[in-house]
């Protein structure tokens, strides 16, 4: 199963693509979509949507996962993040991809073992899990890979629970 993970941000949106059988994972791609802070939010959202479509077309994921909005101290930043999530969810729905949504603490707990891990711990553990020798392009890219791995680990249980309803 190929999974696209997305770590939303209005200036830097991370993406990661992993191949997984639910227990073993391999990295296919990791990168970021950068927008210009001086551009209007509408143009930044348009850029993010276009790039996400290109990523879906290029890597052909079977499913996607997006990190849930966290409670930010800055309400304005949280609102921008929510707009980016909306674009990501729209593009994934448009592509017909099932989408999982995970709280940041769940992603960290899945990858590292506890929900308060810092970005360096997440990246270190991902390198170990994926047998990845190099560094990730940015922390946003490694966070997106973590979201994809989280989905890979939790989707069999979610599918099982959904089948019992």
Q: Which residues are catalytic?
A: 7, 67, 140
Q: How far apart (Å, rounded) are the C-alpha atoms in residues 75 and 133?
A: 38
Task: Provide CB contacts within 8 A for 151, sequence distance 6+.
Answer: 3, 5, 63, 64, 65, 100, 102
Query: In whole angstroms, what is the distance from residue 91 CA to residue 148 CA?
Result: 16
Number of residues that this document lists for the chain: 165
Q: What is the edge-to-edge ordering of all strands in the sheet holding 99-102?
A: 25-34, 12-20, 2-7, 63-67, 99-102
Q: How far apart are CA 104 and CA 39, in angstroms?
A: 28
CA 142 to CA 118: how far, in whole Å? 12
Burial class (CB in 10 A: 0-12, 13-18, 19+), 139: middle
């Amino acid at each position: 199963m190929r999974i696209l993970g997305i770590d939303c941000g209005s200036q830097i949106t991370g993406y990661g693509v992993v191949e997984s059988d639910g227990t073993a994972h391999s990295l296919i791609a990791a990168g970021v979509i950068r927008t210009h802070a001086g551009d209007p939010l509408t143009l930044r959202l348009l850029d993010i949507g276009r790039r996400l479509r290109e990523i879906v077309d290029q890597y052909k994921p079977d499913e996607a996962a997006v990190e849930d909005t966290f409670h930010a101290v800055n309400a304005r930043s949280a609102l921008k993040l929510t707009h980016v999530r909306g674009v990501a969810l729209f593009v994934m729905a448009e592509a017909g991809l099932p989408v999982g949504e995970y709280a940041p603490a769940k992603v960290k707990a899945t990858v590292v073992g506890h929900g308060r891990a810092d970005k360096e711990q997440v990246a270190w553990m991902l390198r170990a899990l994926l047998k990845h020798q190099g560094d990730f392009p940015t922390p946003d890219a490694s966070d997106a890979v973590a979201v994809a791995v989280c989905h890979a680990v939790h989707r069999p249980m979610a599918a099982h629970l959904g089948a019992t309803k």
